[in-house]
Structure 1
Amino acid sequence: MLSCADWSPPYSWCPLSGPGFESRRRRAKTPNETATPHPWPRPRRSTRPISRLAMDRIKDKLNALSSKADSLEKENDSLRAEVRQLNQDLAAKVALIETLHAKVQAAERALDAADDAAEEVKRLVAKLNMLEIEADNSERQIKAIEAERDSWEKKYEEQSQKHLATRKELDELALHLENL
């Protein structure tokens, strides 16, 4: 395979030939430098000029490669724009995820607070039920005590009446005895 540095200067169509590209040409080794084997065999230099047909094929190939490079550059630009757009979309989605994550955390805190409130309500309902049971028991005890009091009042009234009747009899008896 030929490189541009191996061609002779009359081929000015080569982009790597001409002034400023002399440094790319191989310099001769000095006797003190060790010779390293070349990784590929050097092409033989031809002393014949390249034919017009070969030159046209080379130009066509260069034009094809140039147009392919242009199309690849356009494709690269479009892909870069697509990557830029995808990065923007990714940033928007990341921001949305962070927002939703914050909302989820707030909802979890609210849910925890609601669970705590529900536990407190259950505790208060249980306490209210206990208090209602105690109130019912107290009410029954009050009714029983009132019934007992009424019974004692009735007995007291009866005893009072008996006492009065007995006293009256006693007074009558005393009066009768005095009259005698």
Structure 2
Amino acid sequence: MDRPPSQADLDAIQAQLGRPPRGVVAVVSRCPSGHPNVVKTEPRLPDGTPFPTLFYVTCTRLNAMIGTLEASGLMREMSERLTEDDELAAAYARAHASYLEEREALAEVPEIHDVSAGGMPTRVKCLHVLVGHALAKGPGVNPLGDEAVVLLGDWWTGTTCDGPGEPPAQLAGAREVP
């Protein structure tokens, strides 16, 4: 069960985002130093806006590195693979269904019913969402998110997060990129 974020978490997230966080339910992934990486958000923000992104990446460095992957053409390659690999497409569709189920457990928002995020279930539109999902749930839930996490490597190295802690537990057992 998710625990609400502490005030220290909310302060850290605000520093990362450069604005107050909105609709945060829990911190679902942390870097080795304990700072938030990914938060779980309400499907409707406090101002009433529908928000399909259940798992939102807050870490500035992680966001930048994911942006570099997006710029490399990786999303197009992944989308093409979904049309060629039935097993991958089925696993990605399961990730979509899992995402929707978890979000709808928080609240049903008719405006985003059956809409997950990141392009699921048929294409790859946003690696930030897929990485957030993979880090939040661990390996084996979102195959393309898992691949992107592996490609990111140790994004925290050389930062204030590069401390005595362990790598995010969600990386244990991450599979190799095909």
Question: Do they superpose with TM above 0.5?
Answer: no
Bigger CA radius of gyration: 1
Determine which structure has greater relative contact order: mean sequence separation of CA pairs < 8 Å that are 6+ residues apart, divided by chain length. 2
Give the structure with the larger helix fraction: 1
Query: What TM-score results when the alignment is normalised by the length of structure 2?
Result: 0.18
Give the structure with the larger strand fraction: 2
